[in-house]
Amino acid sequence: MHYRTFGRTGWQVSEIGYGMWGLGEWTGSDDDESLQSLHRAVELGCNFFDTAWSYGSGHSEKILGQLLRAHPDKKIYVASKIPPKNLKWPARPEYRFEDSYPPDHIREYVERSLKNLGLERMDLIQFHTWDDSWAGEERWQRALDDLKRNGLIVAAGISINRWEPANAIQALRTGAVDAVQVIYNIFDQNPEDELFPICRELDIAVIARVPFDEGTLTGALTFDSKWPEGDWRNGYFVPENLKSSVEHAEALRPLIPPGMTMPELALRFILANLDVSTIIPGMRKLKNTEMNIAASEAGALEPDLIKKLRQHRWDRQPTSWSQ
Ligand SMILES: NC(=O)c1ccc[n+]([C@@H]2O[C@H](COP(=O)([O-])OP(=O)(O)OC[C@H]3O[C@@H](n4cnc5c(N)ncnc54)[C@H](OP(=O)(O)O)[C@@H]3O)[C@@H](O)[C@H]2O)c1
Give residue-wise pLDDT tens across range 177-235.
999 999 999 999 999 999 999 999 999 999 999 999 999 999 999 999 999 999 999 99
Q: What is the pLDDT of residue 168?
A: 98
Collect all residues with Cβ–Cβ distance below 8 Å to 250 and sequence separation of at least 6: none
What average pLDDT does the segment 233-256 reach? 97
Distance between CA atoms of residues 319 and 323, nearest Å = 8
The pTM of this model reads 0.98
Q: Which residues pair with 180 in a beta bridge?
A: 158, 206
Whether residue 3 is predicted with pLDDT greater than 90 in this model: the reply is yes
Q: What is the pLDDT of residue 71?
A: 98
Ligand 1, residues 227, 283, 286: which to mutate, most atoms within 8 A of Cβ? 283
Cβ of 258: how many Cβ atoms within 10 Å? 4
Burial of 274 per CB tally in 10 Å (0-12, 13-18, 19+): exposed
Q: How confident is the model at residue 323 (pLDDT cuts 50, 70, 90)?
A: confident
Q: Does the Cβ of 214 fall within 6 Å of ligand 1?
A: yes
Distances in whole angstroms, Cα of residue 200 to Cα of each of 40, 77, 80, 211: 32, 21, 23, 21
Q: In angstroms, what is the span from residue 209 Cα to ligand 1's centroid?
A: 8
Q: In angstroms, what is the span from residue 104 Cα to ligand 1's centroid?
A: 31
Q: Whose CA is nearest to atom 36 of ligand 1?
A: 283
Q: 281-294 burial, b if ≥16 CB within 10 A, otherwise e? A: bbbbbbebbebbbe
Q: Whose CA is nearest to atom 48 of ligand 1?
A: 209
In three-state secondary structure terms, 109 is helix
Q: In angstroms, what is the span from residue 158 Cα to ligand 1's centroid?
A: 18
Q: What is the pLDDT of residue 162?
A: 97
In three-state secondary structure terms, 270 is helix
Q: At what angle do helices 262-271 and 303-310 cross, to 10 degrees?
A: 100
